[in-house]
Amino acid sequence: MSGFLDIKGLTLRLRGGPTILRSVSLRVASGKVHGLVGESGAGKSTIGKAVLGTLPRAIEITGGEIWLDGVNLLALPPRERRRRIGATAALIPQDPLTALNPSKRIGPQITRRLIDILGWSKADANRRARDILDEVHIPDVARVMRSYPHELSGGMRQRVLIASAFAAEPKLIVADEPTTALDVTVQKQILRLINEMRARHGTALLFVTHDLGVVSKVCNSLSVLYAGKVVEEAQMHRFFTQPIHPYSRALLAATPTYLDPDGSLQPVPAEVIQEVETEVHQHAQRAGYDV
């Protein structure tokens, strides 16, 4: 089965430095939600950035393919790649505080892509922006369109960002920890909203998080990342019932909300970390990377 997004053997490293992603492969099927979990620094955001073409210049792609809607992005010239990504994918970022340009009003920030990439007229784009803001349950849409980001609450800004991501009807959205910066009550609403929007628009979602509880609620499948390597890729149900990799089992044990809501938080056991490290090293040696 090939996915709408199909990453094959993606390998990245810091220029002249350590490898950040080691032959990562993952698929997101059309209209499905694929979770990407792993601890901080595992390389989750980096995968999202590679897909969206926003990798910092300090990072170079040394191998692999990123197929988006049947085209290998890495084989395209930069201009064409940007256009393709802009037309098919969008980002829901982590921090609603910095994800909107502070010196621009909300309206133009939503319509920008419609006008620039898709060539819509200004009137059409504005109408679309109003509709989509309405769809994410923003009250007083006209006022919000005229507001500057700092005039809105965090939850409101995240709604705007979700609206903005869906505005151009992308076929894939990368959501990078879209709820971590919000407080718990708002988190739930936002999660529900993303799910609702995604289902209605039939959008595929690459959902980056380190929260297995969240994954269990919204994802169809997931990849577990450890130190830049996918240690397990699984359908949701199989993962939660029969995790194969020891690191996955340890992660599950460390997530009290899922297996045992009242249980105390278990750290990932040291021997499991050791095991994964060894495996990563062996893999690296086989593939000839420096670690």
Ligand X SMILES: Nc1ncnc2c1ncn2[C@@H]1O[C@H](COP(=O)(O)OP(=O)(O)OP(=O)(O)O)[C@@H](O)[C@H]1O
Burial of 96: CB neighbours in 10 Å, binned 0-12, 13-18, 19+: buried
Mask 36-65, x = binds ligand X (CB under 6 A)? --x-xxxxxxx---------x-x-------
Q: Would you count residue 98 as binding another protein (CB under 8 A)?
A: yes
Q: Would you count residue 71 as binding another protein (CB under 8 A)?
A: no
Q: Would you count residue 91 as binding another protein (CB under 8 A)?
A: yes
Closest CB to another protein among 102 and 261? 102
Rg (CA), the chain: 20
Mask 158-197, x = binds another protein (CB under 8 A)? ------x---------------------------------
Q: Would you count residue 88 as binding Mg ion (CB under 5 A)?
A: no
Mask 26-65, x = binds Mg ion (CB under 5 A)? -------------------x--------------------
Nearest Cα neighbor of 86 from 119, 46, 121 is 119
Q: Are 213 and 219 in contact (CB under 8 A)?
A: no
Bridge partners (DSSP) listed for residue 18:
none
* CA–CA separation, 178 and 197 (whole Å): 14
Alpha helices by DSSP H, the chain: 44-52, 78-88, 106-116, 122-135, 141-146, 154-167, 184-201, 212-218, 236-241, 246-253, 256-259, 270-287
| The one among 59, 61, 117, 273 contacting another protein by CB under 8 A | 117
Q: Which residues bind ligand X (CB under 6 A)?
A: 14, 20, 38, 40-46, 56, 58, 210
